[in-house]
Every structure is written in C-alpha cells, then in structure tokens.
Amino acid sequence: MGNFLANGNLFFLLAFLAIVYFFFLRPQNKQKKEMQSMLDDIKKGDKLVTAGGIHGKVFRNDGDIIVLEIDTNTKMKVETSSISLEMTKKAREAKKAELIK
C-alpha cells in the first residue's frame, strides 16, 4: 500500500474520478432533472414535439399519457417519455430576449 501512495498513483486515480464526475455524471444528472421538470410542467395548450418529430398542442395530460391535438379534430395519444421538446417556453424566452434587445 505504501508503494501505491509513493508513486503518486492515488493522486491520478482521484483526479480521474473527479474528471469523470464533473464532465460526465454531473451534466447528465442536471439534464435529467431539467427534462423531468419540463415534463412535470406540461399543461393544456402547450406546444410539444415528440421524439418522432410530430408537432402538436396538448389537449389533455393524463400523467403518463398526453393527448396531442395535431390538427383540427385530429388527436393522438403519446407517452410522456416520447416528448423531446416543449416549444411554448422556448417561444416565450425568444420573444422576451427579442424585447430586451
């Protein structure tokens, strides 16, 4: 054990673990929390994009299943796990940024 510490291998091991944590694990956890927060905040009228690229407006949110209104009188059920982007907040943020300029 003394030889392991004497060669400085412990320092490199700890440095490697810190790099893995700060560059891989921490950003992934942050992204997962943001996605979960976005899914929890979905309400009727929000515009969404599914992972398959289908654009629609939320007609009803039943927890794990969201009913999207794709067109007039055209509705589709999708799993919340297939939602990839929430367009309503992005549009509001873009409009707010445009007003600030």
- pLDDT single digits (tens) 16-71: 999 988 888 888 899 889 888 888 888 898 888 888 889 999 999 988 899 999 99
Domain boundaries, the chain: 1-40, 43-101
Segment 11-21, tens digit of pLDDT: 888 889 999 88
Tokens of 1: 């054990």
Q: Name residue 74's beta-bridge partners.
A: 71
**Phi (first) and psi of residue 46, to 5 degrees:** -70, 145
**pTM given for the model:** 0.63
Q: Is 66 helix (H, G, I), strand (E, B) or coil?
A: strand
**Phi (first) and psi of residue 38, to 5 degrees:** -65, -40
Among 2.60.40, 2.30.30, 3.30.160, 3.40.50, name the CATH number for the domain at 43-101.
2.30.30
Average pLDDT rounded to a whole number, residues 1-18: 74
